[in-house]
Amino acid sequence: MTDTEMRALCHCFFDAIERGDYAAVEQIYAPQFRMWVNLTGTESTAEENLSVLRDGAKLHRRRTYDDRIVNTFANGFIVQYSVNVVTHSGARTSLAACVVAQCHNGQITRIDEYLDSGKFRSRAKAQASEERIRT
């Protein structure tokens, strides 16, 4: 795949997730697709990941992948971005993330996703503080 083709694949992937077009995401995933996420340290299949994407979409009114910085390498791309979420209650949150994607024949074969875990620690601290205040 060329640099241009990998950049286009990257944007097609994130644009499809934003639209909730999981059939398009499924077509982008190679049959042997695997995904690893730093927060859990576990791998998932395409089917498992699609289920997570669908379930996650139900929790949000809107989810966008903004400020994408895409760099390509011989067999894939790296994209840094901000995930911006608006919940059904109107609350907004943003999370910094990075994906390393391996590609072959116009499909993504593997994703390693790195999410800013500091956001989760901050939320956990805030929740713990609220619990101490209530008791």
Q: Are strands 76-87 and 92-104 parallel, antiparallel or unpaired?
A: antiparallel
Encoded tokens for 25 = 């995401």
CA–CA distance, 65 with 68 (Å, rounded to integer) = 7
- Beta strand residue intervals within 51-106, DSSP E: 60-73, 76-87, 92-104
Q: What is the CATH class of 3-134?
A: alpha beta
Tens-digit pLDDT profile for residues 6-48: 999 999 999 999 999 999 999 999 999 999 999 999 999 999 9
Q: Where are the domains of the chain?
A: 3-134
62-120 pLDDT, tens digit per residue, is 999 999 999 999 999 999 999 999 988 999 989 999 999 999 999 999 999 999 877 65
Task: Give the global pTM.
Answer: 0.84
